[in-house]
Amino acid sequence: MCRFPASLAMSHFYWSVLLSLWPLKQTIGTNSRAVPPPQEGARSAPAQCRCWLRRWRAAVAAEESGRAALRMEPLQNGGGSPEAAAASGPEEKRRWEPVPSWRRRRSSSGAGAEADSGAGPHPRERGGSVSRQRLDSLRKSRPLFPWFGLDIGGTLVKLVYFEPKDITAEEEEEEVENLKSIRKYLTSNVAYGSTGIRDVHLELKDLTLCGRKGNLHFIRFPTHDMPAFIQMGSEKHFSSLHTTLCATGGGAYKFEQDFRTMGDLQLCKLDELDCLIKGVLYIDSVGFNGHSECYYFENPTDCEKCQKLPFNLENPYPLLLVNIGSGVSILAVYSKDNYKRVTGTSLGGGTFFGLCCLLTGCSTFEEALEMASLGDSTKVDKLVRDIYGGDYERFGLPGWAVASSFGNMMSKEKRESVSKEDLARATLITITNNIGSIARMCALNENINRVVFVGNFLRINTISMRLLAYALDYWSKGQLKALFLEHEGYFGAVGAFLELLNSA
């Protein structure tokens, strides 16, 4: 079949130019000779052009009509007739419309040959191609290993590390020695030097992040060992794998220059409260290896009946989030992106540990808690019954309530009779009572009845958790519930880790 120009508009342009130039040609002619007038009864040249143009348009229309008829596909409903298609509705009718030529063109000769032969890619081949494209896109979008998140606090550094468990043979062959060395060092040890600890019991297994499956490890060490950590990273040539680390906490600012000069690394500094909330919501959403991340205490003051029970935090908002680290920050959280810092206090975990070091000579947080578990705070604190001889009934104060923390230490005789364990216990009760009192007032002011306590002050600190649970329940007459999370102080590091994945 004869092939005509593809663009009808361009063809119109050619004929229009030809017709417009005809009178000029009639006047000028060739070598300035006049063109003889047309014979009588013959058509003029412009008329002949218009005739040819009409014939050409008719031929194009006939060809397009024939092509459209060949392209018509039988419909699933309607027997394949145009009438049935019209009756099937506008959607089916559109399937009968001719496909414009520009939509049928192929971008390459190979594609055109494929179209002419009537062959196309097999559906499975197309699906595999799409899957490979998505996989390649995912690989490009995710950050390079290793994946870390850092929370550099005033007392402790918390580190979260993702260990991939789906490494292919090809990846393992291409993997550089530096990366293998770091992964082996972090996952094959539970202690690093004299102070670094991997909390194996908190490890989250079989997580899927950015298309990779693996385990999430939780590591901590004292902040004063940060220079040694940076030096270790330099020795393992970490900067050859990453140039930037995502970090939060005050130490992200304090140690920024050390990371740059000693480790050849830049720190992406993130807001610690943003990271805290993101970390809490994420860990609660994935759960704790099939168990609930959130829990509470029932009968907290009864050693025999006290139970640790799971709590479903599926609809968490609003909640009061009390983060007890070296100091304390209290946040009112109304949604994922809507929160405010209500208040805080300087009397936190750092205060407890510092006072215990002064009063008892202990050297570690674990030692201070062990001493507190063996002590009796009533020998140190002055109670309501020490003043009233019993309950202060008019204002509902029970005799066992603390009227004055360390109030008995004004007496020389009582100072001489107390033990270091008693002092450690009184210090713990003092700090915990103060935090609980502030949290209760904030919850009442914000009209929130769920209070979630997090932070490393609560690590292995059952005494404080049970005291907070009892105090909130007792003083609110059952209106407030104290909730706790298994990963206590790691949520800021988790939030920084998530930011690394989101920024890729």
Which residues are the active-site residues?
A: 272
Would you tell me how many other CB atoms lie within 10 Å of the CB of residue 31?
Answer: 5
Would you tell me how many other CB atoms lie within 10 Å of the CB of residue 294?
Answer: 21
Cα distances from 46 to residues 9, 16, 20, 42, 479, in angstroms, run 20, 11, 9, 12, 97
Task: Provide DSSP, 267-326.
Answer: EEEE-HHHHHHHHHHHHHHH-BTTB-SEEEEESTT-TTT-EEEE---SS--SEEEEEESS
Which helix (H) or strand (E) element contains residue 156? strand 156-164
Residue 110 CA to residue 168 CA, distance in Å, equals 35
Provide the 8-state DSSP code for 230.
H
Q: Which is nearest to 202 in space by CA: 496, 486, 503, 494?
A: 486
- Beta-bridged to residue 411, according to DSSP, are none
- Residue 303: CB partners within 8 Å, gap ≥ 6? none
State the SS3 of 167-184: CCHHHHHHCCHHHHHHHH
Residue 195 CA to residue 340 CA, distance in Å, equals 35
Residue 10 CA to residue 3 CA, distance in Å, equals 15
Residue 424 CA to residue 495 CA, distance in Å, equals 33
Is the CB of residue 228 less than 8 Å from the CB of residue 193?
yes
